Amino acid sequence: MIERIGAFISYFESVRRRTITSCKAIPDEQIDWAPRPDEMSFGDLIRHLAELGAARPQIYGLTLEELMVRTGGV
């Protein structure tokens, strides 16, 4: 359990870096892939994360545009 704000920020930044790295690793031809037709595609999930960041920039630290640039525009 994380008990200090510094530890939380460190953990959060680590998760954020891994998420951005994962987004960049998705091949362009797979961006529209979804496990089933009624579920979110990779692109949908990335847009969802970007929207969360835009809605809460003080927490996520990125706007939609910044996330799009960092992930290569996907």
**pLDDT tens-digit map of 27-55:** 999 999 999 999 999 999 998 888 876 66
Tokens (6 digits) for 66:
């910044």
Q: 16 lies in which domain range?
A: 5-70
- What's the structural domain count of the chain? 1
Spatial distance between the Cα atoms of 41 and 26, rounded to a whole number of angstroms: 11
Tokens (6 digits) for 19:
């998420």
Q: Which is nearest to 20 in space by CA: 73, 71, 72, 74?
A: 71
Q: Which residue has the higher pLDDT, 71 or 60?
A: 71
Q: Which residue, chain included where needed, has tokens 């008990």?
A: 3
Categorize the per-residue pLDDT at 12 as very low, low, confident or very high, splitting at 50, 70 and 90.
Answer: confident
